[in-house]
Amino acid sequence: MQEQQTTWIVLGTDGRHVSIGRHREPDDEDLQRVSDGLAAAGQQGWLAMLYGDYWASKGVRLDVLRPLTPGGPADSSVAVAAFLDKRVEALSRLEG
């Protein structure tokens, strides 16, 4: 049986994301650099785990772990919905 792919990502408020680790969990220094970069860019984001293959037609699961920027919105549900919408759009472009 094939092991499910797991990727640590930074999830932005608009659903965009960046992978920050697949083969190891990001450490405190990694997360501080990401947090500093988001703050410098005036962006908000969350650390999340993506389970499954983003590019596969089979569904993925996204677990939001914690905010990466102080003072940002605590509720990540809008960002998660935007992420899922962007994924559907990306997959439809591949098929289309």
In 5-76, which ranges are continuous DSSP H helix?
28-40
Tell me, yes or no, whether 1 lies in a domain.
no
Asked if 21 and 33 count as a contact pair (C-beta separation under 8 A), the reply is no
Q: What is the mean pLDDT of residues 79-88?
A: 95
Domains in the chain: how many in total?
Answer: 1
Mean pLDDT of the residues in the chain = 90
User: Binning pLDDT at 50, 70 and 90, where does residue 1 land?
Assistant: very low
Domain that holds residue 33: 6-95
Distance, in Å, from the CA atom of 76 to the CA atom of 18, rounded to the nearest integer, reads 16
CB atoms within 10 A of CB 44: 20
Nearest to 76 by CA among 29, 18, 7, 10: 10
Tell me the per-residue pLDDT of 25-65, one tens digit each, with 9 for 90 and over: 899 999 999 999 999 999 999 999 999 999 988 889 999 99
Q: Which two tokens stand for residue 33?
A: 């650099």
